[in-house]
Amino acid sequence: MIDRPFNVLFLCTHNSARSIIAECVMNRVGSGKFRAYSAGSHPSGRVHPYALDLARQLNYDPSGLRSKSWEEFAQSGAPKLDFVITVCDDAADEVCPVWPGQPMSAHWGLADPSRVEGTEAERRLAFSDTHRMLHQRCSIFASLPITSLDRLSLQQRLDDIGRTKGASAREEV
C-alpha cells in the first residue's frame, strides 16, 4: 500500500500527441488516485497544435504540457514510477530504460493521429478518436481495484485494457 497517488508514465516516440493526450486524460479521470506524466524516446520538442487545441476544447489545462525525453524520468529526483504504458506502436518495439523500482508496464498501441492525411476536419477527427480511445482505457484503468489485485492479475488487466476494442472503427486490435 502506498500513501501517494500512483505515478504512471505514458510513452510514445515523439511525445507530441498520444502520450500528451493520455497524460491529460489520466490526470482527470484518475485524479487523487493517479498522477500522470508523458515522455518520448525521441521527443519532437513540441506538442502537436491539434493536441493542444483538443486539450483546450475539452477543458484540460495545457499550460504544463511539453514534449520531453523519457530520460527525465530515469534520473535521480524523478517521480517514482508505478506504471509505464506505451501508447504508440513504435515505442512497443524500442528498448526502454530500466526504471528504478521496476514499475509495471503495458502496451496500449494506437495509430498516430498526426500521420493522418486528409482535410483539416479529418485530421482533427483522428485526434478526437485518439482521445476517445485513451479516455476509455484510462477510465477502465482508474476504476481497477489496484490495491486488492495481485501483481499478475493487475498485469493481465493492464494488457487487456490495451486490447480494448470498439472505441474506433480504425482501431485494429
| Residues tagged active-site | 12, 88
C-alpha dihedral (23, 97, 78, 27), degrees to nearest 10: 10
In 3D, which of 49, 36, 50 has the Cα closest to residue 139? 36
Alpha helices in the chain (DSSP H): 18-29, 49-57, 89-92, 120-143, 151-162
8 A C-beta contact, residue 6 and residue 35 = yes
Instruction: Give me the residues paired with residue 37 across strands.
Output: 9
Classify 93 in phi/psi space as left (phi over 0), alpha (psi -120 to 50) or beta: alpha
Q: Which residues contact 60 (CB under 8 A, 6 or more apart)?
A: 24, 25, 27, 28
Q: Is 157 helix (H, G, I), strand (E, B) or coil?
A: helix
512497443: which residue's cell?
92
